[in-house]
Every structure is written in structure tokens, then in C-alpha cells.
A and B are shown apart, each in its own frame.
Chain A
Amino acid sequence: MSAPKTIPKDAQVMIQILKDMGVTEYEPRVINQMLEFTYRYVTTIIEDAKIYATHAKKSSVDADDIKLAIQCRMDQSFTSPPPRDFLLEVARQKNQSPLPLIKPYTGPRLPPDRYCLTAPNYRLKSIQKKVAPSVGRISVPRLSVGAVSSRPTTPTLGTTSVQSVSTKVGAPVSLTGQRFTVQIPPPSQMTTTKTSKNQFFPLMSAGRCMRAAGSGCLGVNLYRVLGCSKQDSDTRSELTSCLSPQLHRPLQRCPTSSSTRL
């Protein structure tokens, strides 16, 4: 390719190499990427070789050093798949065992939990300050998406609160850059609001982030309503226990939540 402006010699060499290897169609960025790679690789090798040469107390770097450097780097960055014979041997051993029988349907057929990505991958921070329990009141963590201002009224009790919580949240939240606040509405719990907030907020945000990222944690659905007529620590433990996702057994309840059923 002959462009009006002169291409640097290195790039011309690279173009020629690509042509020799039979690569005829490529984006122009490829040349730059190849050159960068070449530069990085060569400098890495030469630096390694220098180290080896000084280690061997040689005054200058020679071919053996370079060879050694290449070999070491090869094992590190350019690993190749195992050799065929090894694979055949492994395959032979693996294929000897008969196929395991399939148990009758016991729920979704997944590996043991340890090997799944369904466990929560976060832990809640421990809160030292005790919160005065409010008997009979149920604090409803609410999410208002995007709005920082506080909502005037908040329902607090009963199943209705569940519904309102759900309705407050609109379309599925995609998280990049959205702010959300958690409000603990009941004014009687003002004193405890701060701590409760701290308690819930990391949970919420962490959970939200996880859900959006889907990075391996079954998105813990944060619209879970938690009754916390007990101490904070209990609430916390309830949270953690409830939040072990049991999604495929949806009707199974958290062990402690039954007592705090709305």
C-alpha cells in the first residue's frame, strides 16, 4: 500500500511480514498493534537478557543470554496447550469411569454450591452501636432511585409497605452512575436512622452493583423486606441468612424471617 505520506520503515517491514504470512485483509490498526507488541516483546527479552548477563558476570550480552531469556518468557507468557500424548492419557483415564446415573428431578441440576457462583460474594460490616428496638415497627428500607430528596411519607407497616416499595422502583435499574439513597422512613427511628442506614446502605449498593454486574453472584434481590423488630445484630444476622439465595427453591423461607413476617 502506497500512501502519499511516508510510512515509517518499521511499519513497512510489518506490512511486508503480514503479506508474506498471507494476511491480506486487516484493519490499519493492526499494524500499530503488531509494532507495539514487537517493541514490547523485544525490549522485555533484551532486558531479561541483560539481567542474566550481569548475573553471569559477563561484560556484554550474548546470544546465550538471549536464548535463555526467550525460553523463560516462553514458559511464562506463551504457554501452549498440553502435548497430545498427555491429553490422550488424561482422556483415557477420564473415559474409563462410566457415566454417572442421573438422580430423579431434585431441583435444578447444578454442582454443589461450592462450585457454583450462586453464593453471595460480600459480607456485611459489623455494626457496634446497638439500636433501640422499636417494637411493632418495621423499618422498610426504601430505594428511591435517582432522587436525593427525601420522600415525605413512608408507609411503615404491614404488607402494604411491600407493595409500595415495589412500586417505588420503576424500570429495572441499570446502575452506571445512578445515585440512590436508602431511607429509613419511620421518624420514630430517627436516632437509629443513621446506623441503620450504614447498615443497609452497603448492602444495598453492593447488592445493586452485583446485580448489574452479574459478576458471579446471583443478584440478590434487594427489595426484600426485612422485619427487624429485634436488635441490630440480629437484623444483621437475619440479613445474611436471608440473603443466601435460595432462588430455585423460591418458596422456602429464610429461617428467621418467619418470625418477622409482614
Chain B
Amino acid sequence: NESAPQESESNQIVSCSKIHIPSNHLGGFNRSNANDGRLLSSSPGAGTGGTATGNNKPAPGPPEEQQTLLAVLQFLKKSKLAESAEILRREAGLPEDALDPKGTDASGSGPGLAAGSGQVDGVDASSLLSRVTVSSSAAAQAPKKAAAGEDQPDVSVVLSAYSQQGDPSLYDAYYSGLKRFIESVLDCHRAELSQLFYPLFVHMYLELVYNNNESVAKAFFEKFSGDQECYYEQDLRILSSLTKKEHMKGNETLLDFRTSKFVLRISRDSYQLLKRHLQERQNNQIWNIIQEHLYIDIFDGMPRSKSQIDAMSGSLAGEARREANKAKVFYGLLKEPEIELPLDDEDEEAENEEGKPKKKKPKKDSMGSKSKKQDPNAPLQTRIPLPELKDSDKLDKIMYMKESTKRIRLGSDNLPSICFYTFLNAYQGLTAVDVTDDSSLIAGGFADSTVRVWSVTPKKLRKVKSAADLNLIDKESDDVLERIMDEKTASELKILYGHSGPVYGISFSPDRNYLLSSSEDGTIRLWSLQTFTCLVGYKGHNYPVWDTQFSPYGYYFVSGGHDRVARLWATDHYQPLRIFAGHLADITCTRFHPNSNYVATGSSDRTIRLWDVLNGNCVRIFTGHKGPIHALAFSPNGKFLASGATDGRVLLWDIGHGLMVGELKGHTDTIYSLRFSRDGEILASGSMDNTVRLWDAMKAFDDLETDDFTAATGHIHLQDNSQELLLGTYMTKSTPVLHLHFTRRNLLLAAGAYNP
């Protein structure tokens, strides 16, 4: 049996043998003739149906299959599996030299993408099927990857995903038939099954376009696009401009949409209904499409209501699978180092943990752990390497604790005062703002590629003296830190030149020595705030970088941009340490978790992903926004995440369980800034509608039904209590709010550019 030596070599070969399934072996699927050379003839999308047993006698049939075989052959050669390649060539009857690299444009199709299976239902082989990767270690990793990277198939050099599913002119009929069916089912199922409409519509339309049935596609579009949900309007508009196959090539997001599986969560009953209906019919083309392009995450339980579904849907790839949100996330905070306050401090008596009456322990804030035991939800101190505290950091911490004792406790009855910094004469050029943690400096990034730093306090900004001058100062004096500053350069404003494109992201380092700025020119620059010059330019993204942020402990920073990946950098490495890939569209917002072990990224594909810094895995996917996400904020206790998007809603997420726990409606335009107060009681949101709104975060997180059922099925029942949670709305004079910052004493600072 010739499959045996193949199979014995490595896992990859197992996949190879399975590829040779001629189309008619797939149980029950009415594969049509013009098989466009797909690598995977229907690897099961929803865990049904099957990869038939390996049949390694392929019919060297239609040229499309030839291409598949050639691609496999090429892959084998690349992986240096010469014997298997030989065997394959012999069996498939391929000519000796038939190995020209097909590349991504074979047979004139667009970039080839295997209709990936990538799903996690334990079928390792099928997941391997889709991974025609080069390195042979990939095979060993693929099962692991199947668990971790469940929503992405790896691409290969093989061809694309849209074979003809039957007669194009019948698509109309199929779709209408499905519509009729869904309208006829019971109410409780209808909402769930209506989720099918949008992905089916898009995929059918794209298939028609891909196979050059332009007029049919247009008619199809016109007839059914109106039926779709309103929150898909943007996508539909983009689709409407896509009428030819060539148009599809340039659109990365759409390509990703085609290859990633759109995830739907449907209850078992509804699913059974649907399946029965579709399989009864003669031409179950729709069933085929569902198999290939949709991933139906079935759960047992009550079907969801329309409002529940609406709350969670809206993203480009459907919802998140349950498995995607199952990994353990250490959302607790790292322990604060023990620092002794100077004894002459006038603080109130502190707790004496060790029973030493002489020492005054620093007063920890309520979020810190008073016990010596490790918080089970907190990561280990050494989980990721963090820079150790310097003396200046310790001094900063002491300042921090002193200030925090003077912090105002906020609450629904005690709202913060808001101090608004308006940038005048910016002419819509203000694109990014950041404030230092101790609120002493404000930096603005502008569309004219400058970064400007202002001092908010009366203390001016000074540069360090030149080296020769520094030689002359008395290094032993107490105020050496003052002496190194050059008085001649004192000014309130410093302008930093260097970028060659608008500056879209700005972040101060926690020790106030550095400033990061990310720009449309694809670089991230590190500026020194002591000399006010540029130190490093980090190149990696070759496309606009929309956001960047320093880690709460300094040293690391994260950046996200148009190339759909977020990168983790360290200031002393010129290349990124981690690459977080997985989003389908650009990453518009990146934030570190307070314990610096996780990074949250919000994207134009309307999802938020939480990434683990340690190994780069995506540990949470949050869907529910209906527009690109522009604001993210972690609560100070690390348990919750708030997000704001262009749809004007603020959504609250429980990180530990991976669920949406709140929805705050009120804003009417894009929300660009979100910030929790220092103790987490108030959430402030600023938006393009020129208002700052304050929400009661304590109450929002107070009564959560996180029982097992909810956690298991991911159902949420959101109360519509936005009105109760809204504590105040503060209007500005036509100044969109770009940035919010709570000072250490809980005064709210806001910044924006006057835009009459």
C-alpha cells in the first residue's frame, strides 16, 4: 500500500494522501464539475461530513486537479521529502518537469487560499490539510495551532476558494428559497437562523463575481442587499463596488473574509431544523456553502433572542467561537513592590504587616493585595521579564503613593471635575494626544508630522546641557538633576521634528524619560524628553501605524497599524519581539493590560482581541461592535475592558469569562477616548459628538450573572440600563474629545482640538 510509506514519514504526508480524494468520494456533496482546483475538497466546516479515507490513486483528471497535485508536489519538495515527492509524481503520473512554481497566480486566479478548515473539532488531520506550510516543524505544531489559531487557515500556493456551486442563475432561487424557509419557522428559531443571511449573501455574491457572472451578481445584489441588517451597511457598500474578479484581488480585507470562516452561534434545535431542511432538497448548494465558508458553533440550550444576537454580532467574521475565549487569562495585577515611605512623612498610620512598630509601611491602594499570597488570577511576577526599579522609579512610586492618599473618592454622588485642554488653531491637524501619568506634560501629534510637548505645570521644559558643560558641573551636589538642565533652553513648548507623515499615536513612558510616536510613514520614533531629540526609529510596519502605547512598566511598547498586525517591541531591540497577527482589518487601537502581560487590540474588523505577550497567542476575541473600534480602556483592577467604536456604543467586557457584560448607549458619534478613574468607579468617555460622558462603572460591574450557564454558552442578557448608568453629559463648544486622563487625585483632564 503506497500510502503507508507516505504516512510513516510525517504528518504532512498524511495530509497529502488525503488530498487526493477525487471529488466524487465526498459523501453526499454534490460537487459540480468545474472544480477550481481546490486543495481541500470540502474539509468539513462544521465538523460534519468527511474527509474520506485516503485514496492515493488520484485520477489525473481535469487540469485543476493537476494543479493541486503540482502544488502538493512542490510543497513536498520544499520540505525536502524527496521520496514522497517521487512517489507522488509516479502515482499522479505527473511529468518530470512539471514543477514550475505556480505561485499565487496560477491559472489567473487571485492569491490562492485553501478553503481552510482550521476548525478545532479535533480533526487534526483536516487542520493539517489546510496547512501547506514550508517548515516541517509546522506539522508538529499544527495540532497545537489548531487549538490556538482556530480561525485562520494557513495559505498555500494553491488556488482559490470559489468553485462553481451550480448554476449561477439559480442562486437567486436558492437564496429566496432559504428566505422563505426561515420566515416560516418558529419565532424562536427565526432570529437565530436569520444570522445566516448576511454571510450567505456575501459569499454567494462573491462567488458569482469570482466566476465572472457579473450581471447575475449585480441582479442578485440588488435584490437581496436591502434585506440585510443595517449594521452591515458599510460592508455592503464596499461589496457593491466590487463587480469584477480583478477588483477582488486588491482588497485584502475581502480576501481574508473569503478564507476565514464566518462564525455563527446557533442553538442545536435551530441547527437541526436548518440541516433537515437543506438536506431534504435536491440541490443543496446552500448546504455546500455553509459547509465551506461558515463555521456553525452549536450550543445546547435556548435559542437566543434577536436582541441578544444583535448585541454580539456585527464583526467581519461573525462572532467568536466559544473555544476562542476559553484560555485562562491572568487578569490580576502584579504585586506592587514594597517601598518604605520616608519616616518624616505625614501620612496617616499605615498597616503594620510585620508587626514592626517603627517602620511605616506604604499605604497601598485598595486594589493592591495586602496578603502575601499570590493572587490566583494574577500572573507570576516573572512570567514576562520586566525591568527592575531604578532609584528614580522608586522616587516616582513614593510620589505616586503620596498623591494617591490625597485622591478624591469618586462615585455616583461625587463626580469628578473636568479640566479641558483645548488645542487652538490646530485646523483639524491634531491627531493624537497623550498626558503623562503625573499629569505634568501633554504631547500632541499633528497631521503636519510634528510632535509638540507642552508642560502643564509652571515648571518649564529644559534640555540637558551639552557634554562639555556637563563636565563642569558639580556632580556631588544634591541638586545635580537640576544642574544638568540647561536653563537657556527653558520653554513651555518643545517641537519634535522627524516624522514624515501625520502622527497618529503618542505615548509617554511611565518614567517620563521617553516619548513614543507612531506615524503614517510606518515608523515609530522614540524621543528623549531630556534632550528633546529623536533617539530611535523602529521600522517594521511598512504601512501607517495607527496607535502605539508604552507598557505600564516601561521598556516594552506595542504598536498596531494598517498591516493588520500588532507588534510588541522593547526599546533596546530594533526588531519586534512579538507579532500579533489574526485581525482581518487594520488595527486601530492598542492597549496594555495593567499587569503588562496582555495586549488588547481593537480593529476595523470590529473585533477586539486580547493577546498574550508571553507567547503571542490570541486568548480572547470580543465581537459586538458595529464599527471600527477606536478606544479601549482596562479597568484599574484588570478584570474588565471597556471599548468604544464608531457606532457610539461603549461595551464592557469581562476578561476572565470572555463575555460582554454591559452596553452603554448614549453617544451619537465615534468614541475616541475612554478612561476609568483611578479606583475604577467612574468610566469617562469622550466622543466626536463634542461631549464627555461619565458612567457609573461600579454599578455596571456590580451584579453580573456569571453563572455556569452564561459562561458556557456565552449568552448574555444585557439590561438596558444605560440611562441609569449615565452620570453626566458635558458638552464642549464644538471640540471633539480626543483624550481623557484622570490625574492621580482623580481630576479628569480632557483634550481636544477646537473645531468650529
Interface pair B467/A111, CB less than 8 Å apart: no
Residues in chain A near residue B119, CB distance under 8 A: none
Residues in chain A near residue B111, CB distance under 8 A: 83
- Interface residues contributed by chain B, number (CB under 8 Å): 83
* A154–chain B nearest beta-carbon distance, Å: 18
B263 on interface, CB distance cutoff 8 Å: no
Q: How distant is the Cα of A92 from the Cα of B134 in the complex, in angstroms?
A: 12
* B95–chain A nearest beta-carbon distance, Å: 29
Residues in chain B near residue A221, CB distance under 8 A: 465-469
* B525–chain A nearest beta-carbon distance, Å: 8
Interface pair B469/A162, CB less than 8 Å apart: yes
* B480–chain A nearest beta-carbon distance, Å: 10
Per-position contact with A for B205-241: 1 when CB-CB < 8 Å, else 0? Answer: 0000000000000000000000000000110010001
* A133–chain B nearest beta-carbon distance, Å: 21
B310 on interface, CB distance cutoff 8 Å: no
Residues in chain B near residue A224, CB distance under 8 A: 466-469
What DSSP secondary structure best describes chain B's contact surface? loop
**Given A116-B535, A218-B535, are A111 and B574 neighbors across the interface (CB < 8 Å)?**
yes
**Given A99-B577, A109-B572, are A88 and B152 neighbors across the interface (CB < 8 Å)?**
yes
Q: How distant is the Cα of A75 from the Cα of B325 in the complex, in angstroms?
A: 38
What DSSP secondary structure best describes chain A's contact surface? loop
Residues in chain A near residue B613, CB distance under 8 A: 99
Q: How distant is the Cα of A74 from the Cα of B472 in the complex, in angstroms?
A: 59
A44 on interface, CB distance cutoff 8 Å: no
Per-position contact with A for B496-518: 1 when CB-CB < 8 Å, else 0? Answer: 11100000000000000100000
B531-579: which have CB < 8 Å to A? 531-537, 542-543, 555, 562-565, 570-574, 576-579
Closest A residue by C-beta to B149: A88
B105-136: which have CB < 8 Å to A? 111, 113, 133-135
Closest A residue by C-beta to B135: A93
Q: How distant is the Cα of A242 from the Cα of B255 in the complex, in angstroms?
A: 55
Interface pair B237/A22, CB less than 8 Å apart: yes
A100 on interface, CB distance cutoff 8 Å: yes
Q: How distant is the Cα of A172 from the Cα of B156 in the complex, in angstroms?
A: 58
Interface pair A254/B467, CB less than 8 Å apart: yes
B470 on interface, CB distance cutoff 8 Å: yes
Q: Which of A67, A99, A250, A257 contacts B484 (CB 8 A)?
A: A250
B259 on interface, CB distance cutoff 8 Å: yes
Per-position contact with A for B583-625: 1 when CB-CB < 8 Å, else 0? Answer: 0100000000000000000000000000001111100000000
Per-position contact with B for A64-98: 1 when CB-CB < 8 Å, else 0? Answer: 00010010001000101111111111111111000
B48 on interface, CB distance cutoff 8 Å: no
B731 on interface, CB distance cutoff 8 Å: no
Closest A residue by C-beta to B475: A251
A118 on interface, CB distance cutoff 8 Å: yes
Closest B residue by C-beta to A226: B468
A185 on interface, CB distance cutoff 8 Å: no
Q: How distant is the Cα of A10 from the Cα of B40 in the complex, in angstroms?
A: 48
Q: Which of B255, B531, B534, B581 contacts A90 (CB 8 A)?
A: B581
A102 on interface, CB distance cutoff 8 Å: yes
* A101–chain B nearest beta-carbon distance, Å: 5
Q: How distant is the Cα of A164 from the Cα of B87 in the complex, in angstroms?
A: 86
B332 on interface, CB distance cutoff 8 Å: no
Per-position contact with A for B514-531: 1 when CB-CB < 8 Å, else 0? Answer: 000000000000101001
With A67-B246, A250-B464 already in contact, 9 other A-B pairs whose C-beta atoms are closer than 8 Å = A21-B237, A87-B579, A94-B578, A108-B528, A110-B572, A216-B537, A222-B466, A224-B466, A247-B528
The 8 A-B pairs at the shortest CB distance, nearest first, are namely A85-B155, A221-B466, A95-B616, A91-B581, A115-B574, A81-B563, A91-B579, A109-B572
